[in-house]
């Protein structure tokens, strides 16, 4: 290697080829053994629950492309991009050396590689312009698979997907920008949106004094007299600030309203959107999240004045789906790493996976992961059908998404911690990939309606939109009679929803999500997974403890764990 500069790909290749027998000048003191092979060069999309769901929800036509993306996501190269993008987080450049404002964020080249793949595979806005049934499901599968490489860059990808239904409340703006939001070209840099080959979007709601209660927003929007508005104020969180277009909430004369704010104005000058700081975050470190101030920033109204929340909620409702998908990705990645380790590591004379208690832990993690994947894809299917005008599916999605988002995101940090522990001390070490998963895990629950807010939103749908409860129970009823424990859980839920109390909203959302997951597994899941889920999560006489790894005796753990154990592809 002397004299050769190592590129990211070289390092990645070394990660696979280095191992026992690699050349070294150091005399060896011992043989390294009983360490698992590096998990690289596998197909992330070789995921039976996901592939079945992809076909069932109408996107079987996308399978080849998803498999291709899965192989890339599981490659050493993509893993290296993910590592580098997180170990070299974005840097804010507020000013140039002469003191002029820049307001630019610099990213590591690995971030741009990740973004290029995501955009090329249409994981952002293209489904909105794709007439094929299943387009949103295909995109969901790509998002789920590719998120394994890095969660952070999925944030701008998700927001660019999500902006479209809200932007359509301003048909002229949508007509101008939607085609550019949906191109498959990643065109980074601050230039007038109309001159770029592809655009990315963001969302600015949260202010210092409130994120859940956005009615407290103080940013002001003054009519400029030419149809545009001038915004003055701040936002406390604005992720992916190098995006081209942002939906922003601000107080207009007619009340809280939604605006489209470009970073660069049509004449090429920078809009008055200034980046104050980047957040020093627990996880999600590849992605920049900025504090922003607006100094008479030009923006255009989307929807009517005073209807800002109603307008922007359409964007939030789409990013919520990605919170569920992203959580399913994290769980699958965690249990895959854990099952891989346990398949190779010996302790006390047996492989870990053959130790009954470890098999129980892994099976429990795998059940949680499959249940989350099934729910995520059912919601992606509902999104697809609702986008094509299916009101029943829209009503189902309204309630099921709020409840599912609440519950699966609550499960994520515990799931990640338990998956990490399967690797013992190695799991606590950064290069295992587990710490990154663990730090990311709480985020989806905070975004787009923190835990309580999501649970209260499910309650609101139940009480104010009875058609959502009808659609939800109609879905559950399709599984009626297939499993006694599920039938009992549905009956209990029916009783509880008849008298919903605010302080019970979390319990109710949890029960709704668990029953939905159970119904999906009973209808479509692997029998061993469905049975173990029903006995542990639904039965009121369950021998299930509160930690993972407490499934009752008789569970077919080997069958369940084999579904999460990755196969390294021949090179």
Residue 252: enclosing H or E segment and its boundaries? Answer: strand 245-252
Task: Considering only the stretches 233-241, 425-433, 475-483, 520-528, report the one whose residues sit in contact with ligand FAD under the rule CB under 6 A.
Answer: 233-241
86 near ligand FAD (CB under 6 A): no
Task: Considering only the stretches 136-144, 164-172, 235-243, 257-265, report the one whose residues sit in contact with ligand FAD under the rule CB under 6 A.
Answer: 235-243
Task: Using DSSP, state whether 30 is helix, strand or coil.
Answer: coil
What is the contact mask toward ligand FAD in residues 238 to 257, using x (rule: CB under 6 A)?
Answer: xx------------------
451 near ligand FAD (CB under 6 A): yes
284 near ligand FAD (CB under 6 A): yes
CB of 98 vs ligand FAD, minimal distance in Å: 30
The two structure tokens encoding residue 57: 């929800």
CB of 339 vs ligand FAD, minimal distance in Å: 29
Q: How many Å apart are CA 193 and CA 367, to the nearest integer?
A: 45
Q: How many Å apart are CA 226 and CA 300, to the nearest integer?
A: 10
The two structure tokens encoding residue 86: 């997180």
Selected from 92, 453, 480, 542, the binder of ligand FAD by CB under 6 A is 453
48, 112 Cβ separation under 8 angstroms: no
Q: How many Å apart are CA 533 and CA 518, to the nearest integer?
A: 7
- Residue 246 contacts by C-beta under 8 Å, 6 or more apart in sequence? 201, 202, 203, 204, 238, 260, 261, 262, 263, 273
271 near ligand FAD (CB under 6 A): no
Task: Considering only the stretches 266-274, 444-452, 470-478, 559-567, report the one whose residues sit in contact with ligand FAD under the rule CB under 6 A.
Answer: 444-452
92 near ligand FAD (CB under 6 A): no
Task: Using DSSP, state whether 207 is helix, strand or coil.
Answer: strand
Task: Using DSSP, state whether 224 is helix, strand or coil.
Answer: coil
Q: Where are the beta strands (DSSP E) in 266-424?
A: 273-278, 289-302, 346-347, 350-351
459 near ligand FAD (CB under 6 A): no
Q: How many Å apart are CA 104 and CA 94, to the nearest integer?
A: 6
The two structure tokens encoding residue 269: 């000058």
| β-sheet bridge partners, residue 297 | 231
Q: How many Å apart are CA 167 and CA 301, to the nearest integer?
A: 10
CB of 448 vs ligand FAD, minimal distance in Å: 7
276 near ligand FAD (CB under 6 A): no
Closest CA to 506 of 552, 466, 465, 450: 450
447 near ligand FAD (CB under 6 A): yes
Site for ligand FAD in 184-213 (CB under 6 A): 202-206, 210-213
319 near ligand FAD (CB under 6 A): no
Q: Which is nearer to ligand FAD, 211 or 518 (CB)?
A: 211
Q: How many Å apart are CA 557 and CA 56, to the nearest integer?
A: 25
CB of 287 vs ligand FAD, minimal distance in Å: 7
Closest CA to 241 of 262, 221, 258: 262
Q: Which is nearer to ligand FAD, 36 or 210 (CB)?
A: 210
219 near ligand FAD (CB under 6 A): no
CB of 295 vs ligand FAD, minimal distance in Å: 19
Q: How many Å apart are CA 346 and CA 341, to the nearest integer?
A: 10
Selected from 289, 319, 517, 562, the binder of ligand FAD by CB under 6 A is 289
Please tell me the count of residues contacting ligand FAD according to CB under 6 A: 22
CB of 250 vs ligand FAD, minimal distance in Å: 12
Longest dimension (CA), the chain: 79
CB of 285 vs ligand FAD, minimal distance in Å: 10
Q: How many Å apart are CA 251 and CA 263, to the nearest integer?
A: 20
CB of 224 vs ligand FAD, minimal distance in Å: 24
What is the contact mask toward ligand FAD in residues 16 to 45, using x (rule: CB under 6 A)?
Answer: ------------------------------
Selected from 143, 229, 237, 548, the binder of ligand FAD by CB under 6 A is 237
Interface residues toward ligand FAD, by CB under 6 A: 202-206, 210-213, 237-239, 281, 284, 289, 443, 446-447, 450-453
């Amino acid at each position: 290697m002397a004299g050769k500069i190592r590129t990211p790909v070289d390092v990645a290749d070394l990660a696979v080829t280095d191992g026992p027998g690699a050349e070294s000048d150091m005399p060896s003191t011992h043989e390294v053994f009983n360490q698992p092979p590096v998990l690289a060069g596998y197909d992330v999309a070789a995921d039976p629950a996901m592939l079945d769901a992809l076909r069932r929800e109408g996107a079987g036509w996308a399978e080849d492309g998803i498999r291709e993306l899965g192989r890339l996501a599981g490659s050493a190269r993509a893993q290296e991009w993910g590592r580098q993008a997180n170990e070299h987080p974005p840097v804010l450049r507020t000013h140039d050396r002469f003191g002029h404002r820049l307001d630019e964020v610099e990213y590591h080249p690995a971030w741009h590689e990740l973004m290029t793949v995501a955009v090329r595979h249409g994981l952002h806005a293209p489904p909105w312009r794709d007439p094929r049934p299943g387009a949103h499901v295909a995109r969901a599968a790509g998002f789920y698979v590719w998120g394994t490489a890095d969660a952070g860059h999925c944030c701008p990808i998700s927001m660019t997907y999500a902006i479209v239904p809200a932007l359509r409340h301003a048909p002229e703006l949508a007509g101008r920008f939607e085609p550019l939001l949906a191109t498959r070209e990643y065109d980074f840099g601050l230039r007038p949106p109309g001159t770029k080959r592809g655009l990315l979007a963001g969302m600015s709601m949260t202010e210092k004094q409130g994120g859940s209660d956005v009615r407290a927003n103080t940013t002001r929007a003054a009519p400029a007299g030419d149809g545009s508005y001038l915004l003055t104020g701040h936002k406390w969180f604005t992720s992916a600030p190098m995006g081209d277009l942002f939906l922003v909430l601000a107080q207009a004369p007619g009340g809280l309203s939604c605006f489209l704010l470009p970073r660069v104005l049509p004449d090429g000058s920078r809009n008055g959107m200034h980046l104050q700081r980047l957040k020093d975050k627990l996880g999600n470190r590849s992605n920049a999240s900025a504090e922003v101030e607006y100094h008479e920033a030009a923006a255009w109204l989307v929807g009517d004045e005073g209807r800002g929340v109603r307008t922007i909620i359409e964007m939030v409702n789409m990013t919520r789906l990605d919170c569920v998908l992203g959580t399913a990705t994290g769980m699958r990645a965690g249990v895959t790493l854990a099952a891989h380790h346990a398949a190779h590591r010996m302790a006390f004379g047996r492989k870990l996976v053959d130790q009954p208690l470890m098999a129980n832990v892994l099976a429990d993690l795998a059940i949680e992961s499959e249940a989350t994947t099934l729910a995520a894809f059912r919601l992606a299917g509902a999104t697809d059908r609702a986008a094509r005008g299916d009101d029943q599916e829209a009503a189902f999605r309204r309630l099921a998404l709020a409840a599912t988002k609440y519950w699966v995101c609550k499960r994520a940090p515990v799931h990640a911690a338990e998956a990490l522990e399967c690797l013992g001390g190695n799991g606590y070490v950064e290069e295992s990939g587990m710490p990154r998963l663990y730090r990311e895990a709480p985020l989806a629950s905070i975004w787009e309606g923190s835990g309580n807010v999501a649970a209260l939103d499910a309650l609101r749908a139940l009480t104010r939109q009875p058609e959502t409860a009808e659609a939800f129970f109609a879905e559950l009823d399709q599984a009626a009679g297939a499993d006694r424990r599920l039938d009992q859980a549905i009956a209990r839920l029916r009783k509880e929803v008849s008298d919903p109390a605010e302080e019970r909203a979390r319990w109710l959302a949890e029960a709704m999500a668990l029953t939905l997951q159970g119904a999906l597994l009973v209808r479509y899941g692997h029998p061993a997974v469905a049975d173990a889920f029903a006995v542990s999560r639904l039965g009121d006489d369950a021998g299930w403890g509160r930690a993972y790894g407490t499934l009752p005796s008789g569970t077919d753990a080997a069958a369940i764990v084999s579904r999460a154990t990755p196969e390294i592809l021949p090179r």
